[in-house]
Chain A
Amino acid sequence: MKYVDEFRDPAKAKALAADITRLVARIPRARRRPLQIMEVCGGHTHAIFRYGIQQMLPEEVEFVHGPGCPVCVLPMGRVDDCVALAERPDVIFTTFGDAMRVPGSRKSLLKAKADGADVRMVYSPLDALALALKNPDREVVFFGLGFETTMPSSAMTLIQARAQGVRNFSLFCNHTTIIPTIKAMLDSPELQLDGFLGPGHVSMVIGTRPYAFIAGHYRRPITIAGFEPLDVLQSTWMVLKQLAEGRCEVENQYGRIVPENGNARALAAIAEVFELREFFEWRGLGSIDHSGVRIRPAYAAYDAEKKFHMPNVRIADPKSCQCGEVLKGVIKPHECKVFGSACTPETPLGSLMVSTEGACAAYYNYGRVEGLARV
């Protein structure tokens, strides 16, 4: 496949992996404990497992699978709100596919659909808006979630809905913003990360500048990374090179997509429609200040939280669930008490087991056998 196979070349991968091994030998602290590099984004987690990248690296380099899978960090109470909305007879509830299976305290959207709720999978919020135009007697709600990657399309859809005077469309806004989340992780005392792979598609929107504090204040190297396997390997090499040379900078490996200043039009759409919430509840991580956005009053007519009554109950994570520690890299997925026993992809307790981008599900699906060949 053109423009894809070039980024999956096994010969180049082998050469890069060998370079990485040589680099690691120059980093003294790697002799005491493995270097931990967090990939913030679920897309990277997926690529690491799908292509078996971890096994290509020396044992001194470990990936810590960060909080960037929007499905994985969704608290149960929010899923319950979705189910309550979906179960209203007047509502067509629309969502991205992989949010369907996330467990709520009563049921998932998939189960709600089986029980008769009108839940439909869409590929874009614009598909949901089109559905609203086609069904003027129904209320169409779109479940907006994701970081700055998916935020602009939600924003543009509301702008269009208002321009077209659509009355039966609204957004249940669960969008989250990446920078406060990374900051909260860095402030966590248990954390011992050595560097970051920065999220590629978020950065396409916000640019590379907002990460300066990671290198400056927290003294950690970060490389904005693409999603093909060679992108991930090269970005890892770049982070290790900074470590070997004692540098802490924001570098951009994904220059073919990510401009330094981001995408001005996307940022303008976000600013037009959304404003920061004081705090937002995360699964496994608790409440993080300014980590979520809500819809501005000017667009209140399209805000599902204003339009409908929501149960809005906070549900604590199951006690046995250690998603938070996995998210912070304190333990590995298989070190969780319930991994593979009480918590499996068939019956997920924690949200990291739900989406294929979740660290636990990826680990369970692709890598649970000890002794997958190291290359």
Chain B
Amino acid sequence: MYDRAPPRARLRDTAINLGHGAGGKAMRALIEDVFLGAFGNPMLDPLEDQAVLPLGDLARHGDRLAFTTDSYVVDPLFFPGGDIGTLAVAGTVNDLAVSGARPLFLSCGFVIEEGLPVETLRRVVASMRETAERAGVAIVTGDTKVVEKGAADKLFINTSGVGVIRPGIAISATNARPGDKVLVSGVLGDHGTAILIARNQLALEGAVQSDCQPLHELVDAMLSACPDIRCLRDATRGGLATVLNEFAQSSQVAIRIRERDVPVRETVRGACEILGLDPLFLANEGKLVAVAPPAEAPALLAAMRAHPAGAEAAVIGEITETPVGMVIMQTSFGGERIVDMLVGEQLPRIC
């Protein structure tokens, strides 16, 4: 009667308490019911201290590993268009994808503030599962900690990811050269605006949804159309402006963009006007910035537009030689100005 695996434990509590992180039966119930129930796969199910990844399988996808980590602490946990779970998977998948890697495996660590409703955790975990399925990645190892009330804000998630880069791809922020074109994959600032509106409970007309989405398929299509993509980054915190400044500094070139070609949704522009913010600095969670040789840019743009995640892609500017390390924008009004990195947070203006 002992040769069958015992049935999975059920979690009957309605809120997380310190016991769920203590390593005993309560923790076992949490892991088996909530996490295994959602993420279950042959690598995770044995609940060893580590996932074991067969090298032979990895090598079939390419010749180099990409490895990345990111922590997610967004407040509020749920926002229009996504939640912390969608972010935690899509964000790490995208960090892998923009190296040209095919994302394969994720780890996830939860830091939970005691008192968090189990229902909330289940919702987040369900989003993670759904996003992982969309992205074709498996969550293969994890960790759970519960901290006292006030020691964390509701729920923090860390995910690390492993992907494999196929031969011949060499993407780096140092690769931009004068003459190259700069492209973005779609409208900018949706995520930042959605979070701002959700956080401040501003009743602005025209709801904005976060653009949170995995980008690995788009990147795959882009690399098929243009294997020589020079630089690629997802424009998360700090927005487009930050990524462009990073490219300009790493490659020791200047970047000139045209404001009228930078796609921004009307509602986002409107919200920025009201709040005194600049959409170039707003966070995105499903948009990338690419630099490509001029001859290949039209094919790259066409490939991006053919994919749903890049339907509104656009060429927004060029790489030039000077002034080195700077990003300059021709305003839609006809003048020119520097687009610098943010000093700290973007703070709304008084009047």
- List residues 33-90 of chain B with CB under 8 A from any CB of chain A: none
> Per-residue CB proximity of B337-351 to A under 8 Å, as 1/0?
110100110011111
- List residues 312-351 of chain B with CB under 8 A from any CB of chain A: 323, 326, 328, 330-338, 340, 343-344, 347-351
> Per-residue CB proximity of B199-241 to A under 8 Å, as 1/0?
0101000000000000000000000000000000000000000
B269 at the interface (CB under 8 A from A): yes
Contact status of A53 and B335, CB under 8 A, knowing A1-B270, A369-B328: yes
> Per-residue CB proximity of B287-304 to A under 8 Å, as 1/0?
000000000000000000
B266 at the interface (CB under 8 A from A): yes
Chain A min CB distance to B192 (Å): 15
Across the interface, do A70 and B350 meet the contact criterion of CB distance under 8 Å?
Answer: yes
**Range, interface on chain A:** 35 or more
Chain A min CB distance to B252 (Å): 16
Across-interface contacts of A54 in B (CB, < 8 A)? 335
A216 at the interface (CB under 8 A from B): no
> Per-residue CB proximity of A164-205 to B under 8 Å, as 1/0?
000000000000000000000000000000000000010000
B148 at the interface (CB under 8 A from A): no
Across the interface, do B270 and A96 meet the contact criterion of CB distance under 8 Å?
Answer: no
Across-interface contacts of B331 in A (CB, < 8 A)? 50-52, 229
Contact status of A52 and B336, CB under 8 A, knowing A1-B270, A101-B344, A369-B323: yes
Task: Name, among B332, B337, B340, the residue most crowded by chain A CB atoms within 10 Å (CB to CB).
Answer: B337
**Range, interface on chain B:** 20 to 34
Across-interface contacts of B349 in A (CB, < 8 A)? 43, 46, 96-98, 355-357
A367 CB contact (under 8 Å) in B200, B332, B338, B347 = B338
Across the interface, do A13 and B334 meet the contact criterion of CB distance under 8 Å?
Answer: yes
Contact status of A98 and B347, CB under 8 A, knowing A1-B266, A372-B328: yes
Apart from A43-B351, A101-B344, A365-B338, list 18 A-B contacts with CB within 8 A: A4-B273, A10-B333, A13-B334, A42-B351, A46-B349, A52-B335, A52-B337, A96-B349, A97-B348, A229-B331, A229-B335, A346-B343, A355-B350, A368-B338, A369-B328, A372-B338, A375-B335, A375-B336
Across the interface, do B350 and A100 meet the contact criterion of CB distance under 8 Å?
Answer: no
A229 to B336, CA, bound (A): 13
Across-interface contacts of A50 in B (CB, < 8 A)? 331, 337
Across the interface, do A121 and B351 meet the contact criterion of CB distance under 8 Å?
Answer: no
Interface residues of A (CB under 8 A from B): 1, 4, 8, 10, 13-14, 42-43, 46, 49-56, 70-71, 96-101, 110, 121, 123, 145-146, 149-150, 201, 229-230, 345-346, 355-357, 364-369, 371-373, 375
Q: List 20 A-B contacts (CB under 8 A).
A: A1-B266, A1-B269, A1-B273, A10-B332, A14-B334, A51-B333, A53-B335, A55-B336, A56-B334, A97-B347, A97-B349, A98-B348, A100-B347, A101-B344, A110-B344, A149-B351, A150-B350, A229-B333, A355-B349, A373-B330
Across-interface contacts of A14 in B (CB, < 8 A)? 334
Contact status of A13 and B350, CB under 8 A, knowing A1-B266, A369-B328, A369-B338: no
A159 to B337, CA, bound (A): 43
A98 to B275, CA, bound (A): 12
Across-interface contacts of B336 in A (CB, < 8 A)? 52, 55, 372-373, 375
Chain B min CB distance to A105 (Å): 20
A151 to B332, CA, bound (A): 34
Chain A min CB distance to B347 (Å): 4
Chain A min CB distance to B326 (Å): 6
